[in-house]
Structure 1
Amino acid sequence: MGITQNYYGSLCTEMYEILHKEAPQDELEFYLSYAEKEMKILEPLCGSGRFLIPFLERGYDIKGIDLSTEMLAKLNEKAPNAKVFQKDILEYDSAEKYDYIFISSGSVSLFTDMDLCKRILHKMKELLKKDGKFVFAVDTIADKCLNDTDYKTSISVKTKEGYTLVLKIKNYYYEKTRTQYSPSIYELYDGTKLLQQERMDFQTHLYKLGEIEPYLKGIGFSKINVYSSYDKKIAENNLSEMFLYECSF
């Protein structure tokens, strides 16, 4: 497989399922706090469903979008009746508008091309009903990693088949664009025998407080709250490792 920016391939998906099968409870409760039973809800970048499935289990009307066929295959294994679409977000067309749209886990930071990010945010505004809520998280400059000179083994896990799945990462940060580069190599071993290797060009944009707000206002969001924690504490500085945005118009 070639190197693809921020695409969750088969080995990446397998490790993600082992490490992040269920959503953290505080994060899940945060996104659930905006939901009501009569709402039409959309989760772009829904991945393997660790947020979408708990919404479904609670009886919410939710749909999901993700580009990764591997991640959606995992979601469909767990929730065959889930309404999910394998699409680029910008290519998703919907006649209906949504009451609530959320993008969890800092995934908006994956759009390191800021022009593309603005187009994504504008798309969310187009899909939202008047007085609907768009809620999302971004990583911040507090997440900046030290630069590495070479790849280092970051994580090693056992698969259900008994194989060893290893993640090797090399981090470096480009200050001018505030891009965190983390090229990654996933390797699957049977003992010492390499069975499969997958490379991923993982990149994130690390935000400063006040950076994305002008974009949001420019596309028409008139009410914006920025939180530094899942208990909705107002963000005041760049010390938090995430910012949570609550947007409406």
Structure 2
Amino acid sequence: MKILEPLCGSGRFLVPFLERGFDICGMDLSAEMLTKLKEKAPTAKVIQADILKYDSGEKFDYIFICSGSVSLFTNMKMCKEILQKMKCLLKKDGKFVFAVETVADRCPDDLDYKTLISVKTEEGYELILKMKNYYDEKTHTQYSPSIYELYAETKLIQKEEMDFQTHLYELGELEPYLYEIGFAKVTVYSSYDKVIAENNQTKMFLYECSF
């Protein structure tokens, strides 16, 4: 069976699959992430590509997008195009599995940045991550702007800002579109133990789709 992991990153999931003998291919847009993956698994089959433009010419028995990565696509038009793309890459009777974050995972709104992590680097610098959260009820978008600061003792020597966003889903929000694009069976679980999702009181929905 052929497996595809889009958005495979540095191989946190792909490498263990490969080590267990599975025929798996990874795809990611980040050359840096794929370089790290190849350092861990030089024989891994990986392709650098945009998820919407990827076309290997083959179809897969099993496709998975892990760790709620689908929630990172807060532009819902683009998100639906990506799900359509996964359907096109799937063999008949294959399975597409992905997880999303839910409204139960909403963070409290913050008035100002809070320090989340402070670590010492091998070189003796201090790296600090600051973040604040606010939620848009209308779009179901969790905004989490972040600031990374690097200090040499008390002197700030480098600063980087990131605008991190996630779409938080409600049960029933994605299902109609998955059926619309051609999946015949869509099952939604509330955990990796495959407990059927019955409400929004879970921090993850795990979708298993086939046609």
TM-score range, shorter chain: over 0.9
Q: Which moved more, 1:61-70 or 1:112-121?
A: 61-70
Establish whether residue 142 from structure 1 lines up as the match of residue 77 from structure 2. no
Q: Which has the higher contact order (CA 8 A, sep 6+)?
A: 1
Q: Match for residue 144 of structure 2?
A: 182
Tell me if 1:55 matches 2:6: no
Structure 1, unmatched stretches of 5+, are: 1-38
**Higher deviation after alignment, 150-159 or 95-104:** 150-159
1:105-155 Cα deviation digits (max 9, x unpaired): 000000101100000000000000000000000000001111111111112
Indicate the residue corresponding to 1:159 in structure 2: 121
Q: Percent identity?
A: 77
* Secondary structure in 2 matching 1:65: strand
Q: 1:49 to 1:190 in 2, by over 3 A?
A: farther
Amino acid at match of 2:72: L
For each residue in 1:9-35, what CA deviation from the matched residue of structure 2 results, as whole angstroms up to 9, or x when unmatched?
A: xxxxxxxxxxxxxxxxxxxxxxxxxxx
TM-score (norm 2): 0.95
Correspondence for 2:155: 193
Which shows bigger deviation, 116-125 or 58-67? 58-67
Richer in helix (by share): 1
Gaps of 5+ in 2: none
Aligned residues: 211
Instruction: Quote the RMSD (CA, aligned, Å).
Output: 1.3
Deviation at 1:199, TM superposition (A): 1.8
Aligned partner of 1:206 in structure 2 is 168
Q: How does 1:63-142 map to 2 (within 5 A)?
A: 63-142=25-104
Residue of structure 2 equivalent to 1:22: none
Q: 1:46 to 1:155 in 2, by over 3 A?
A: same
Distance in 1 (CA, whole Å) between partners of 2:33 and 2:129 is 18
TM-score relative to the length of structure 1? 0.81
Structure having the higher Rg: 2
Q: Compared with structure 1, are the counterparts of its residues 162 and 70 closer, same or farther at alpha carbon in structure 2 (3 Å cutoff)?
A: farther
Which structure has more strand as a fraction of its residues? 2
